[in-house]
Every structure is written in C-alpha cells, then in structure tokens.
Amino acid sequence: MKVTQAVFGVFHHFELAHQLHRRGHLQKIYSTWPWTRLKREGLPRSLVGCFPLLHTTDYLLSGSRFYPASASSKLNAWNALSFDRWTARVMAPCDAFVAISGAGLLTGRKVQANGGKFICDRGSTHQRFQESVVADEYRRWNVPLPLEKPHIAVREEAIYGAADAITVPSTVAKRSFVQMGLAPEKVHVIPYGVRLDQFTRTGEPPRDSFEILFAGQVGLRKGVPYLLQAFARMRHSRKRLTVVGALQDDMRAILPNLPTENVTFTGALPQTELAKTMSTSHLLVLPSIEEGLALVQGQAMACGCPVLATVATGAEDLFTDGEQGFIVADRDVDVLAERMQQIADDSALQRRLSEAAMQRVKHLGGWDRYGDDWDRLLHTLTGVPLNPDKCPK
C-alpha cells in the first residue's frame, strides 16, 4: 500500500509518517516547512517534499508590528491553495492520501479520480463548531472578536464533504462533526501517542510546596482565565502555578484583571525542559474550552504528572476520571478549584494518580498504537490486504 501525506508545517503528521514508513507504506510526505527545519524529524530526504516559500515568509513576518493580521490571513489562504495545486501536480499516484484539514482538496479529488482514497485528518473539532465556541468565549470576556476568515470554513467543509473519511483524535471532536451533520461512520477516532523516549519521569515534585503546571498556548481557547480563578481559590501556604507557553493576544487585555499571585509565566520551553518541569509538578491542569486531544496530557502522564482536564480536551480517550486524573466540565471554576484542593490536601491520592498515569501511558505504547489504528483504517478504506510481514516488530 502506498500512502502520501500533506501537512502545513509538522504537527503530529511526522509521527504518522514514521509509523507508515516502518510499515513500508509511506510514499512521501509533503510539508510547507523548509528541509532545514524538517530534517530534524528524522525521515530520509527522499521521502520529504518541501513547499516552503509562503509559509516561511508568513512565519518570518509574524513578529513584525508592520505585518497586519489581514495580510497574514491572505498569505495563509494563498499558501493553502498554492500548496494544494503544487501537491496535485508533483505527487505520484497512491492508494491513500492523508491531508491535514485545510489542505489537499484538489489533490484529494485527483487521487480519488485515479482510484485512491482521500482522508482528511482534523486535529480539533469541526471548523464551524470551533469558531462558534471560541467566538462565544470572546464575548464572555468582552474581548474584540478576531479577524473573520470565512474562506477557511468554506474550504474546510468542502474538504469534509469530498473526503472518503475524516480522522480526529478524540471522541469529543467526533461528536462535534456529528452535531454539525456529518455521518458518524465517516468520522474515525484515532487518539495521539506520546514520545516515551522524550517524556519520562526524571525527578520528583517537592514535598514542601504544591506545584501546578499549565502547558499550551496561553489564551482564551485554552481556558486560562478559569485556571487563574480556580488557582486563586486554593488554600495552600506554598502553592505555585507555572504557566508554560506563548501569551496570546486575546489574553493580554484581560490578564491585568485576573489573579496572578504565585503564578509564573515562563513563555515557551524546549521539550527537554518541559519534560523536567512535568516530572517535578504535582498536577497538570488543562481547562480548555475547545480542543482535539491536547498532546501535553499524555506527555505529563508519562512523566508521572497526573492531569486535571476539561471534557473539551479529549481526556476521556486518554484516561479514566478518578483513576489516572480527573475530568471536569468546561468553564466550571468551582469544580476545578475543588479538584486542585483535593489533590493538594491528599498526598497519597497524588502519588496514586501519578503511578496510575505512568502505567496507563506505558500500556498505550507510545505512538505505536496510533500507527496500528491508522494501519487498520487505511487497509479497510483501500481494500489492500494486510501484509503481516510489513507490521513493525
């Protein structure tokens, strides 16, 4: 079976590419990043195609105050269309084409015309569902709505309609597609894995303080205001919240009005530093209001850091509430604070959750289960017989 991929940048698609390559399925993966960035992903150069000009230009200009959001939006739209035209022109025939959502509409139709299957891989909820949830959150906090980009939803829904299948990383993401009218049998849940070679316990949380961690984009979509409010309600003489990630524009205006005592904002951290911080934290809290399946949850669990997450994070596909962590309703500050307090007050509970979290991630097997799930789906969609000799040992 020959499988080709297309992705903006990297995301989780290179993890999939490695799984497909191990099974002898990967024909090529196309990306909008240059080879100088992609070579660190560890695939042979012959298997990687690059279309970097527009995406790289947007990335380099994004830090400039002279580069308006409207210009970035136009360049991103141009990048998506140009990348699609280019992959349609250069790629060889294949049995299956897996494109990150927003990419591959023309290419997918060409693959289908030649007898192949087109799979849209969506990392979060349905585009219009996502837009509705996020817009509601902006209104709740009286933050000006971001620049409207109606072309994105139009293209996304055209892709959803054209694709032979849609893959999402969590049940909560699938529910959003069904809610928006997609047939349940068209949407397949394949949860992400964890790089167990990079994320492992390297230390222990301190005994004389209570360390809470947040990791991700620091913005409204990730529910950061609810975390700050809940943390402020906690009673502990030596509590600390470390917020790892880039501060988003939608948070800048409201952050001065939120409680930040005993809160440290670090900005983004390298993966090695993040893994160390996870190992020495008592709890990762992820109170997102919209998500697909946040990778940091599995990463934290692999480091022995239990997770307190909202339903929107996709946590239900990763662990069981009360066994390896806790899952709470979205936007519920009271329950967030209660669970944080419960773990802070019960060191035995924290240790039990920590051990169970590590065992759960080890049982899931890193990214191999992800590769197995994709392998089964691709063989089912294409009708190509499964070859046991191609399965990784």
**What is the mean predicted confidence (pLDDT) over 97-123?**
97
In a domain? residue 202: no
Reply yes or no on whether the pLDDT at 47 is more than 90: yes
Reply yes or no on whether the pLDDT at 385 is more than 90: no
Residue 371 near residue 16, CB atoms below 8 Å:
yes
d(CA 110, CA 123): 23
Residue 138 near residue 144, CB atoms below 8 Å:
yes
For the chain, what is the mean pLDDT?
A: 94
In a domain? residue 107: yes
Residues 8 and 78 in one domain: yes
In a domain? residue 303: yes
Residues 74 and 32 in one domain: yes
Q: Which domain holds residue 88?
A: 3-192+367-390
Closest CA to 343 of 236, 232, 203: 236
Order of strands, sheet of 263-267, starting from the edge strand that comes earlier in the sequence:
263-267, 239-244, 210-215, 283-286, 307-310, 325-328
Residues 248 and 318 in one domain: yes
Residues 87 and 216 in one domain: no
Residues 53 and 99 in one domain: yes
Residues 6+ apart with CB under 8 A from 366: 193, 194, 195, 196
Residues 230 and 354 in one domain: yes
Reply yes or no on whether the pLDDT at 304 is more than 80: yes
Q: Rounded to two decimals, what is the model's pTM?
A: 0.93
CB atoms within 10 A of CB 159: 24
Structure tokens at 188: 């397949």
In a domain? residue 161: yes
The CA-based angle 88-177-167, given to 5 degrees, is 50
d(CA 227, CA 308): 11
Segments of the chain assigned E as strands: 3-7, 26-31, 48-50, 96-100, 117-121, 165-168, 187-189, 210-215, 239-244, 263-267, 283-286, 307-310, 325-328
Reply yes or no on whether the pLDDT at 387 is more than 80: no
Q: What is the pLDDT of residues 319-335, one digit of tens each?
A: 999 999 999 999 999 99
pLDDT the model gives residue 37? 96
Q: Quickly list DSSP for 263-279.
A: EEEEE---HHHHHHHHH
Residues 65 and 161 in one domain: yes
In a domain? residue 171: yes
Residues 167 and 269 in one domain: no
Q: What is the pLDDT of residues 188-242, one digit of tens each?
A: 999 999 999 899 999 999 999 999 999 999 999 999 999 999 999 999 999 999 9
d(CA 353, CA 301): 9
Structure tokens at 209: 């303080």
pLDDT the model gives residue 67? 86
**What is the mean predicted confidence (pLDDT) over 7-15?**
96
Buried b (16+ CB within 10 A) or exposed e, 332-359: bbeebbbbbbebbeeeeebeebbebbbe
pLDDT the model gives residue 311? 97
**What is the mean predicted confidence (pLDDT) over 302-311?**
97
d(CA 390, CA 379): 12
Query: Please, which pLDDT band fits residue 114 given cuts at 50, 70 and 90?
Result: very high
Query: Please, which pLDDT band fits residue 389 given cuts at 50, 70 and 90?
Result: low
pLDDT the model gives residue 116? 98
Q: What is the pLDDT of residues 269-281, one digit of tens each?
A: 999 999 999 999 9
Residues 108 and 219 in one domain: no
Buried b (16+ CB within 10 A) or exposed e, 223-234: bbbbbbbbbbeb
The CA-based angle 373-354-234, given to 5 degrees, is 120
Backbone angles phi, psi at 283, to 5 degrees: -160, 135
In a domain? residue 40: yes
Query: Please, which pLDDT band fits residue 69 given cuts at 50, 70 and 90?
Result: confident
Residues 6+ apart with CB under 8 A from 124: 130, 168, 173, 290, 291, 292
pLDDT the model gives residue 9? 96
CATH of the domain at 58: 3.40.50.2000
In a domain? residue 88: yes
CB atoms within 10 A of CB 278: 26
Number of domains the chain contains = 2
What's the first-to-final CA gap in the chain, in angstroms?
18
Residues 276 and 219 in one domain: yes
Residues 182 and 55 in one domain: yes
Residues 350 and 371 in one domain: no
In a domain? residue 297: yes
Order of strands, sheet of 117-121, starting from the edge strand that comes earlier in the sequence:
48-50, 26-31, 3-7, 96-100, 117-121, 165-168, 187-189
